[in-house]
Amino acid sequence: AQKITQTQPGMFVQEKEAVTLDCTYDTSDQSYGLFWYKQPSSGEMIFLIYQGSYDEQNATEGRYSLNFQKARKSANLVISASQLGDSAMYFCAMRGGNQAGTALIFGKGTTLSVSS
């Protein structure tokens, strides 16, 4: 069975500091994708970054980078230079297998609070 684990219910960081949000996963699929989403208090889910299981380089999107360690089955999100607008819930998700109907599974999320 596939599983995503986010062990940090809440994280606190000051503006301009970097922060790492942890994510570990479990799957027997050889091909899978890992995703991070941001959910502000408004409720919408915003896609941040993607990492494929065969990608050798860590993904980066602006201030977001994904620290992918395949052997350890971890896919941590690193936010550099935090901003007040980064305060939100962050979800790690995985999609495994290429068969029809394969859905994203999500972790429980981490609430990030950025202070000035």
Site for another protein, rule CB under 8 A: 29, 31-33, 35, 37, 42-47, 50, 52-53, 91, 93, 95-109
Q: How far is the CB of 39 from another protein (least distance, A)?
A: 9
d(CA 15, CA 35): 24
Q: How far is the CB of 13 from another protein (least distance, A)?
A: 21
Q: For residue 52, what are the contacts with CB-CB under 8 A and spacing of at least 6?
A: 31, 32, 33, 34
Q: How far is the CB of 10 from another protein (least distance, A)?
A: 12
Residue nearer to another protein on the CB measure, 44 or 72: 44
DSSP summary character for residue 62: T
85 by DSSP, 3-state: which?
helix
Residue nearer to another protein on the CB measure, 17 or 52: 52
Residue nearer to another protein on the CB measure, 48 or 82: 48
Q: For residue 64, what are the contacts with CB-CB under 8 A and spacing of at least 6?
A: 36, 48, 49, 77, 78, 79
